[in-house]
Amino acid sequence: MLVTNHESFGYFADRYGFTIIGTIIPNVSTGSSPSAQQLVELIEAIKATSTAAIFLESGTNPELAEQVAREAGVKVIKDLLTHSVSPPGGYIDMMKYNTLAIVEALK
């Protein structure tokens, strides 16, 4: 079970058999804001599924995720990578980095 900042990790969840139970930002755009009711529902979903962490991509403002995490009793994992602009092999390295960060957080 994963909670992410927004839908940016949907491809990862689909590929590796994770379920995204919710997102901090309820749209693909990081410019939108969730309602209070959406945040309450997310906190309840995190608690009901024993989700361990909220995952954020690099460059994301963690403030709202940290608030939700405090309410739900989970941790926030920051700085996952969503774009590789490095030389060949960079994408593989990016995926390894993200996978290790996610696996460690779920232990």
Per the CB < 8 A criterion, the answer to whether 52 and 74 are in contact is: yes
Domain ranges of the chain: 2-106
* Confidence (pLDDT) at 8: 79
Place domain 2-106 in its CATH homologous superfamily. Answer: Nitrogenase molybdenum iron protein domain (3.40.50.1980)
Query: Phi and psi of 31, rounded to 5°?
Result: -85, -10
Intra-chain end-to-end CA distance of the chain, in Å: 12
> pLDDT for 61-71, tens place per residue?
899 999 999 99
- For the chain, give the number of residues: 107
Most confident of the following: 3-12, 77-86, 88-97, 98-107: 98-107
Is this model's pTM higher than 0.95 or not?
no
For the beta carbon of residue 44, count every other beta carbon within 10 angstroms: 13
Model confidence at 29: pLDDT above 60: no
